[in-house]
C-alpha cells in the first residue's frame, strides 16, 4: 500500500525498543525466562497455537484497514510504523465490540486488533496514541508473549480440575501478567513517541477510565487521584492493591497516567526527541546483566517515590527498596526456578 507517511512529526531511524521500554518490563522478561520449564512451555504452546487460524478468524469476522477501508486508521498505522522505523507495516483489524480494547498478537507476522468501542471513544490524536502503543508492542517483540498469555489463561481454566497442573500453569500466568503490566507502561511511552503530544496521550488514559465526557474531567484532579491511590490509608490498603492485580493484564488507569506523566517530564522523553536514543543496530551489544540492574534500579526509584504505607514497611524491613523489590519478586518465582 502506498499511503505517504506523516513527515511533520519527528522520526526515529533505527530506534531500539530499549529507548522506551520500562526497565521493569525487560527485567520481568529476564525473570520470566528463568522459570523452570518456561522455554519448554513456550515451544509446546508455539506448536499448539496456530497464528494462521487467528489471522483467518479476524480476516473473516473483522475489517482489515487499508486505503479503501478505514483509510484514516490505516494512515495512523503507516505513520506509527514510519516514526518508530518498523517494517513491514503491520495489518490492523477493526472488530465490532463496544468494549474499548486493543491488542497486538501473533508470532511470525504480528498484527493489531482494535475494537470499535475504542475508536468510537477517541478523537484522531488519541487514536494515534493507541496505534503507536500497539506498534510499540510489536517492535518490542511483546506480541508473542501476549499471545502465549491468552493461550495459557484459557488452558489454565480448562485444567482447573487438575490441581498440580493448574497451579503450575497459574505460576507462569502470574509471571506473564506481571510482565504484561510492565509492558503496558513501556508501550504507553511508545504511543507518546508516535503521537508527540503528552496532553493528548493523557486524555486517552483519562477516557479509558471515565469515558467520552472529557469536559467533565480534569488532568490535575486525575493526577491527584493517582497520588491518593498510591498513598493509601494504611498497609492494609497496600495489600488490597496487590491482591487487586491478580488476573489483571493492565495497570490501573491512574497508575498508567502517573507513570506516563513522570516519564514525559523526566528528561528522557526530550532526549529521544532530540535524537539521543539507543539504536537497534546496537542491541546485540546490550548487556543482559545491565538490563537486570536497570530493572532493580527502576523498582528502587518507584518505591522511593511511593507513599504507600505497605511499600514503606517492606522497604524498611528489607533494608532498602532495591533489596525489597528483589525479595518480593523472589517470593513469587523462587519455587518455579530451576535448582542450581
DSSP class of 237: H
* pLDDT of the residue at 275: 96
Q: How would DSSP label each residue in 23-48?
A: HHHHHHHHHHHTSTTHHHHHHHHHHH
Q: How confident is residue 19, by pLDDT bands cut at 50, 70 and 90?
A: very high
* pLDDT of the residue at 292: 62
The overall longest dimension of the chain from CA atoms, in Å, is: 60
Block residue for cell numbers 509471571: 175
Q: How confident is residue 39, by pLDDT bands cut at 50, 70 and 90?
A: low
Block residue for cell numbers 504484561: 180
**What pTM does this model have?**
0.77
Q: How confident is residue 52, by pLDDT bands cut at 50, 70 and 90?
A: confident
Mean pLDDT, to the nearest integer, of 307-325? Answer: 49
* pLDDT of the residue at 266: 87
In the predicted model, what is the mean pLDDT of the chain? 79
With contact defined as beta carbons under 8 Å apart, do 258 and 226 qualify? yes
DSSP class of 139: H
Residues 6 or more apart whose Cβ sits within 8 Å of residue 1: 66, 67, 74, 78, 89
Mean pLDDT, to the nearest integer, of 166-175? Answer: 63
* pLDDT of the residue at 340: 46
* pLDDT of the residue at 301: 62
* pLDDT of the residue at 180: 78
* pLDDT at 74 > cutoff 90: yes
Measured distance CA(104)–CA(16) in Å, rounded: 18
Q: pLDDT digit string (tens) for 178-222? A: 777 889 999 999 999 999 999 999 999 999 999 999 999 999 999
With contact defined as beta carbons under 8 Å apart, do 106 and 137 qualify? no
Q: What is the distance, to the nearest Å, from the Cα of residue 179 to the centroid of all Cα atoms in its chain?
A: 8
φ and ψ of 104, to 5 deg: -115, 120
* pLDDT of the residue at 213: 93
Percentage of the chain beyond pLDDT 70 is: 63
Span of 257-266, 276-285, 306-315 with lowest mean pLDDT: 306-315
Residue 313 Ramachandran class (φ > 0 left, ψ -120 to 50 alpha, else beta)? alpha
Q: β-strand 111-115 against 92-95: which pairing, if any?
A: parallel
Percentage of the chain beyond pLDDT 90 is: 45
* pLDDT at 88 > cutoff 80: yes
What are the residue boundaries of the structural domains of the chain, listed by start?
17-336
Mean pLDDT, to the nearest integer, of 67-87? Answer: 96
- Residues labelled catalytic: 134
Amino acid at each position: 500500500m502506498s499511503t505517504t507517511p506523516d513527515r511533520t512529526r519527528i522520526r526515529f531511524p533505527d530506534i531500539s525498543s530499549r529507548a522506551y521500554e520500562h526497565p521493569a518490563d525487560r527485567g520481568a522478561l529476564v525473570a520470566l525466562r528463568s522459570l523452570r520449564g518456561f522455554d519448554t512451555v513456550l515451544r509446546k504452546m508455539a506448536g499448539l497455537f496456530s497464528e494462521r487460524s487467528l489471522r483467518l478468524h479476524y480476516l473473516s469476522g473483522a475489517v482489515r484497514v487499508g486505503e479503501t477501508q478505514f483509510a484514516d486508521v490505516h494512515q495512523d498505522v503507516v505513520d506509527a510504523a514510519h516514526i518508530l522505523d518498523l517494517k513491514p507495516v503491520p495489518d490492523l483489524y477493526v472488530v465490532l465490540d463496544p468494549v474499548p480494547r486493543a491488542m497486538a498478537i501473533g508470532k511470525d507476522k504480528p498484527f493489531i486488533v482494535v475494537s470499535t468501542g475504542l475508536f468510537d471513544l477517541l478523537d484522531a490524536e488519541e487514536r494515534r496514541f493507541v496505534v503507536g502503543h500497539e506498534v510499540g508492542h510489536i517492535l518490542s517483540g511483546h506480541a508473542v508473549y501476549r499471545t502465549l498469555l491468552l493461550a495459557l489463561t484459557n488452558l489454565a481454566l480448562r485444567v482447573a480440575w487438575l490441581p498440580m497442573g493448574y497451579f503450575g500453569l497459574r505460576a507462569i500466568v502470574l509471571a506473564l501478567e506481571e510482565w504484561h503490566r510492565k509492558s503496558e507502561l513501556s508501550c504507553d511511552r511508545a504511543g507518546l513517541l508516535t503521537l508527540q503530544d503528552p496532553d493528548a496521550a493523557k486524555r486517552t488514559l483519562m477516557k479509558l477510565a471515565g469515558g467520552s465526557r472529557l469536559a467533565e474531567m480534569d488532568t490535575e484532579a486525575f493526577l491527584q487521584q493517582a497520588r491518593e491511590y498510591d498513598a493509601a490509608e494504611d498497609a492494609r490498603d497496600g495489600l488490597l492493591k496487590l491482591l487487586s492485580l491478580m488476573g489483571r493484564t493492565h495497570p490501573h488507569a491512574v497508575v498508567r497516567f502517573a507513570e506516563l506523566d513522570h516519564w514525559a517530564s523526566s528528561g528522557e522523553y526530550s532526549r529521544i526527541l532530540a535524537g539521543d536514543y539507543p539504536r537497534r543496530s546496537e542491541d546485540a551489544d546490550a548487556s543482559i546483566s545491565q538490563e537486570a540492574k536497570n530493572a532493580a534500579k527502576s523498582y528502587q526509584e518507584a518505591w522511593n517515590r511511593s507513599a504507600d504505607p505497605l511499600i514503606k514497611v517492606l522497604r524498611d524491613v528489607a533494608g532498602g527498596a532495591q533489596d525489597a523489590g528483589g525479595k518480593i519478586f523472589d517470593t513469587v518465582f523462587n519455587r518455579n526456578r530451576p535448582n542450581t
